[in-house]
Amino acid sequence: MLIDSHCHLDFETFDSDRQRIIESCRQHNICGFMVPSVAPRFWPRQLRLASEYPEVALALGLHPWYVSEAAIESLRDLAKVLDSSPAPVLAIGETGLDKLKGNPELQLLSLKYQLGVAQELDKPVILHSVKTHARLQDILRDYPGVRGVVHGFSGSYEDAMRFIDIGFKVGIGGLITRPNARKIRAAVTRLPLHSMVLETDAPDMGLYGHEGSRNSPENLVLILNCLAELRQQDPESIQRAVLSNTRELFTWPPSV
Protein backbone atom coordinates (compact mmCIF):
# COMPACT_ATOMS: atom_id res chain seq x y z
CA MET A 1 0.00 0.00 0.00
CA LEU A 2 0.96 3.63 -0.46
CA ILE A 3 -0.11 6.98 0.97
CA ASP A 4 0.13 10.17 -1.07
CA SER A 5 1.61 12.43 1.60
CA HIS A 6 0.73 15.64 -0.26
CA CYS A 7 -2.03 16.20 -2.81
CA HIS A 8 -4.70 18.84 -3.23
CA LEU A 9 -7.70 16.63 -3.95
CA ASP A 10 -10.01 19.38 -2.72
CA PHE A 11 -9.12 21.65 -5.66
CA GLU A 12 -11.90 22.38 -8.13
CA THR A 13 -9.98 20.78 -10.98
CA PHE A 14 -10.90 17.39 -9.47
CA ASP A 15 -14.62 18.13 -9.05
CA SER A 16 -15.59 16.36 -12.27
CA ASP A 17 -13.75 13.08 -11.67
CA ARG A 18 -12.65 12.94 -8.03
CA GLN A 19 -14.63 9.76 -7.34
CA ARG A 20 -13.09 8.02 -10.35
CA ILE A 21 -9.56 9.02 -9.29
CA ILE A 22 -10.04 7.73 -5.76
CA GLU A 23 -11.46 4.45 -7.04
CA SER A 24 -8.55 4.11 -9.46
CA CYS A 25 -6.11 4.74 -6.64
CA ARG A 26 -7.76 2.01 -4.58
CA GLN A 27 -7.11 -0.42 -7.43
CA HIS A 28 -3.43 0.59 -7.35
CA ASN A 29 -3.26 0.09 -3.56
CA ILE A 30 -2.99 3.82 -2.84
CA CYS A 31 -4.83 3.76 0.45
CA GLY A 32 -4.61 7.33 1.73
CA PHE A 33 -4.30 10.98 0.82
CA MET A 34 -2.92 13.79 2.95
CA VAL A 35 -4.66 16.95 1.73
CA PRO A 36 -2.97 20.15 2.94
CA SER A 37 -4.58 23.56 3.01
CA VAL A 38 -3.62 26.65 1.06
CA ALA A 39 -5.83 29.18 2.89
CA PRO A 40 -8.36 29.27 5.75
CA ARG A 41 -11.24 30.06 3.40
CA PHE A 42 -10.82 26.57 1.93
CA TRP A 43 -10.89 24.72 5.26
CA PRO A 44 -14.66 23.98 5.05
CA ARG A 45 -14.19 22.43 1.61
CA GLN A 46 -11.42 20.19 2.96
CA LEU A 47 -13.50 19.17 5.95
CA ARG A 48 -16.36 18.14 3.65
CA LEU A 49 -13.98 16.09 1.53
CA ALA A 50 -12.62 14.24 4.56
CA SER A 51 -16.16 13.52 5.74
CA GLU A 52 -16.97 11.93 2.38
CA TYR A 53 -13.84 9.83 1.93
CA PRO A 54 -12.31 7.84 4.82
CA GLU A 55 -9.00 7.69 2.95
CA VAL A 56 -8.54 11.46 3.25
CA ALA A 57 -6.70 13.12 6.13
CA LEU A 58 -6.06 16.84 6.39
CA ALA A 59 -3.49 19.46 7.19
CA LEU A 60 -4.94 22.89 7.90
CA GLY A 61 -2.94 26.08 7.54
CA LEU A 62 -1.93 28.94 5.28
CA HIS A 63 0.32 28.56 2.23
CA PRO A 64 2.96 31.29 1.74
CA TRP A 65 1.52 32.24 -1.66
CA TYR A 66 -1.81 33.06 -0.03
CA VAL A 67 -0.66 35.19 2.89
CA SER A 68 -2.51 38.42 3.61
CA GLU A 69 -3.36 40.25 6.77
CA ALA A 70 -6.92 38.89 6.61
CA ALA A 71 -5.75 35.31 6.09
CA ILE A 72 -3.29 35.54 8.98
CA GLU A 73 -6.08 36.88 11.20
CA SER A 74 -8.15 33.82 10.23
CA LEU A 75 -5.34 31.62 11.51
CA ARG A 76 -6.38 32.65 15.03
CA ASP A 77 -9.20 30.09 14.64
CA LEU A 78 -6.83 27.26 13.71
CA ALA A 79 -6.51 25.69 17.16
CA LYS A 80 -10.30 25.92 17.68
CA VAL A 81 -11.00 24.22 14.33
CA LEU A 82 -8.47 21.51 15.08
CA ASP A 83 -10.06 20.88 18.47
CA SER A 84 -13.65 20.72 17.21
CA SER A 85 -13.23 18.99 13.84
CA PRO A 86 -14.72 15.50 13.46
CA ALA A 87 -12.42 14.96 10.47
CA PRO A 88 -8.86 13.63 10.90
CA VAL A 89 -6.75 16.80 10.93
CA LEU A 90 -3.30 15.29 11.42
CA ALA A 91 -0.96 18.18 10.57
CA ILE A 92 -0.47 21.92 10.18
CA GLY A 93 0.15 23.44 6.77
CA GLU A 94 1.12 23.86 4.29
CA THR A 95 3.21 26.75 5.51
CA GLY A 96 6.72 27.96 4.81
CA LEU A 97 8.68 30.52 2.84
CA ASP A 98 9.01 31.27 -0.86
CA LYS A 99 11.65 33.69 -2.04
CA LEU A 100 10.11 33.99 -5.50
CA LYS A 101 6.48 34.74 -4.70
CA GLY A 102 4.50 36.45 -1.96
CA ASN A 103 5.12 38.96 0.82
CA PRO A 104 8.20 37.85 2.81
CA GLU A 105 7.24 39.67 6.02
CA LEU A 106 3.74 38.22 6.08
CA GLN A 107 5.09 34.79 5.14
CA LEU A 108 7.39 34.87 8.15
CA LEU A 109 4.61 35.98 10.49
CA SER A 110 2.31 33.25 9.19
CA LEU A 111 5.01 30.59 9.42
CA LYS A 112 5.94 31.41 13.00
CA TYR A 113 2.33 31.42 14.12
CA GLN A 114 1.74 27.98 12.58
CA LEU A 115 4.95 26.56 14.03
CA GLY A 116 3.79 27.77 17.42
CA VAL A 117 0.45 25.99 17.04
CA ALA A 118 2.23 22.84 15.89
CA GLN A 119 4.53 22.98 18.90
CA GLU A 120 1.66 23.58 21.31
CA LEU A 121 -0.55 20.81 19.91
CA ASP A 122 2.29 18.39 19.04
CA LYS A 123 1.30 18.11 15.40
CA PRO A 124 3.64 17.75 12.42
CA VAL A 125 4.11 20.59 9.95
CA ILE A 126 4.08 20.46 6.15
CA LEU A 127 6.65 22.95 4.86
CA HIS A 128 6.92 24.74 1.53
CA SER A 129 10.44 25.99 0.78
CA VAL A 130 11.63 27.72 -2.38
CA LYS A 131 15.20 29.02 -2.19
CA THR A 132 14.78 29.38 1.58
CA HIS A 133 16.24 26.15 2.98
CA ALA A 134 18.91 27.77 5.18
CA ARG A 135 16.49 30.39 6.51
CA LEU A 136 13.89 27.76 7.34
CA GLN A 137 16.45 25.59 9.09
CA ASP A 138 17.46 28.52 11.30
CA ILE A 139 13.83 29.23 12.18
CA LEU A 140 13.00 25.59 12.93
CA ARG A 141 15.78 25.43 15.50
CA ASP A 142 13.78 27.98 17.54
CA TYR A 143 10.90 25.47 17.78
CA PRO A 144 12.42 22.38 19.41
CA GLY A 145 10.35 19.25 19.10
CA VAL A 146 8.49 20.39 15.99
CA ARG A 147 8.66 17.71 13.30
CA GLY A 148 7.25 17.41 9.82
CA VAL A 149 8.09 17.19 6.14
CA VAL A 150 9.66 19.52 3.59
CA HIS A 151 7.35 18.80 0.71
CA GLY A 152 8.30 18.75 -2.97
CA PHE A 153 11.96 18.74 -2.01
CA SER A 154 14.31 19.72 -4.81
CA GLY A 155 17.54 20.54 -2.99
CA SER A 156 20.85 18.83 -2.48
CA TYR A 157 21.75 15.87 -0.32
CA GLU A 158 23.41 18.23 2.15
CA ASP A 159 20.29 20.44 2.38
CA ALA A 160 18.12 17.38 2.95
CA MET A 161 20.36 16.03 5.68
CA ARG A 162 20.22 19.34 7.55
CA PHE A 163 16.43 19.11 7.60
CA ILE A 164 16.60 15.46 8.64
CA ASP A 165 18.95 16.31 11.49
CA ILE A 166 16.36 18.80 12.79
CA GLY A 167 13.71 16.06 12.77
CA PHE A 168 12.06 16.51 9.37
CA LYS A 169 11.45 14.15 6.50
CA VAL A 170 11.68 15.08 2.83
CA GLY A 171 8.78 14.75 0.41
CA ILE A 172 9.81 13.09 -2.85
CA GLY A 173 7.61 13.76 -5.87
CA GLY A 174 7.48 13.79 -9.64
CA LEU A 175 10.54 15.99 -9.96
CA ILE A 176 12.76 12.90 -9.66
CA THR A 177 11.32 11.59 -12.95
CA ARG A 178 12.88 14.51 -14.87
CA PRO A 179 16.34 13.67 -16.25
CA ASN A 180 17.57 17.25 -15.86
CA ALA A 181 16.71 17.36 -12.13
CA ARG A 182 20.20 16.16 -11.36
CA LYS A 183 20.50 17.55 -7.84
CA ILE A 184 17.46 15.82 -6.36
CA ARG A 185 17.98 12.64 -8.40
CA ALA A 186 21.48 12.38 -6.97
CA ALA A 187 20.26 13.18 -3.47
CA VAL A 188 17.63 10.42 -3.32
CA THR A 189 20.22 7.78 -4.13
CA ARG A 190 22.05 8.66 -0.90
CA LEU A 191 19.36 9.70 1.55
CA PRO A 192 18.46 7.25 4.31
CA LEU A 193 15.26 5.45 3.45
CA HIS A 194 13.70 6.33 6.81
CA SER A 195 13.87 10.04 5.87
CA MET A 196 11.57 9.98 2.83
CA VAL A 197 7.85 10.08 2.11
CA LEU A 198 6.23 10.04 -1.33
CA GLU A 199 3.89 12.66 -2.76
CA THR A 200 2.39 13.84 -6.03
CA ASP A 201 1.45 17.45 -5.14
CA ALA A 202 -1.44 16.88 -7.55
CA PRO A 203 -2.66 18.69 -9.55
CA ASP A 204 0.80 20.31 -9.77
CA MET A 205 4.36 18.98 -10.17
CA GLY A 206 3.70 16.91 -13.27
CA LEU A 207 5.91 13.96 -14.13
CA TYR A 208 8.47 13.99 -16.93
CA GLY A 209 6.72 14.13 -20.28
CA HIS A 210 3.51 15.41 -18.70
CA GLU A 211 4.57 18.88 -17.59
CA GLY A 212 1.75 21.36 -17.94
CA SER A 213 -1.02 18.79 -17.65
CA ARG A 214 -2.99 17.99 -14.53
CA ASN A 215 -1.14 15.67 -12.17
CA SER A 216 -3.02 12.94 -10.31
CA PRO A 217 -2.47 10.86 -7.16
CA GLU A 218 -2.65 7.85 -9.47
CA ASN A 219 0.93 8.71 -10.51
CA LEU A 220 2.30 7.89 -7.06
CA VAL A 221 3.16 4.38 -8.26
CA LEU A 222 5.28 5.85 -11.08
CA ILE A 223 7.19 7.98 -8.58
CA LEU A 224 7.78 4.91 -6.41
CA ASN A 225 9.11 2.96 -9.38
CA CYS A 226 11.40 5.82 -10.40
CA LEU A 227 12.79 6.07 -6.87
CA ALA A 228 13.43 2.34 -6.84
CA GLU A 229 15.24 2.57 -10.18
CA LEU A 230 17.41 5.48 -9.03
CA ARG A 231 18.31 3.71 -5.78
CA GLN A 232 18.62 0.32 -7.49
CA GLN A 233 16.40 -1.20 -4.85
CA ASP A 234 13.37 -3.44 -4.88
CA PRO A 235 10.17 -1.32 -5.16
CA GLU A 236 8.42 -3.42 -2.52
CA SER A 237 11.07 -2.68 0.10
CA ILE A 238 10.86 1.05 -0.61
CA GLN A 239 7.05 0.90 -0.55
CA ARG A 240 7.06 -0.68 2.90
CA ALA A 241 9.53 1.88 4.21
CA VAL A 242 7.80 5.00 2.89
CA LEU A 243 4.41 3.75 4.06
CA SER A 244 5.82 3.23 7.55
CA ASN A 245 7.48 6.67 7.44
CA THR A 246 4.23 8.38 6.45
CA ARG A 247 2.17 6.63 9.09
CA GLU A 248 4.74 7.43 11.76
CA LEU A 249 5.05 11.08 10.76
CA PHE A 250 1.32 11.82 10.70
CA THR A 251 0.25 9.25 13.36
CA TRP A 252 -1.87 7.67 10.67
CA PRO A 253 -4.38 6.23 11.29
CA PRO A 254 -5.17 8.58 14.17
CA SER A 255 -5.92 7.06 17.52
CA VAL A 256 -9.58 7.06 18.52
Q: Annotated binding site for a divalent metal cation, which residues? A: 6, 8, 94, 128, 151, 201
Tell me phi and psi for residue 169, to 5 degrees. -105, 170
Question: Binding site residues, as ranges?
Answer: 6, 8, 94, 128, 151, 201
Cα separation values, 106 from 38, 83, 102, 126, 160, Å: 15, 25, 8, 18, 26
**Can you say how many angstroms the Cα of residue 240 is from the centroid of all Cα atoms in its chain?**
19
Whether 72 and 113 have beta carbons less than 8 Å apart is answered as: yes
Residues in the chain: 256
User: What DSSP designation does 56 have?
Assistant: E
Cα–Cα distance, 170 to 197 (Å, whole number): 6
DSSP string, 174-199: GGGGSTT-HHHHHHHHHS-GGGEEE-
Whether 6 and 171 have beta carbons less than 8 Å apart is answered as: yes
3-state SS of the chain: helix, strand, coil percent to 5? Answer: 50, 15, 35
For Cα atoms 217, 201, 101, give the angle at the middle one, nearest 5 degrees: 160
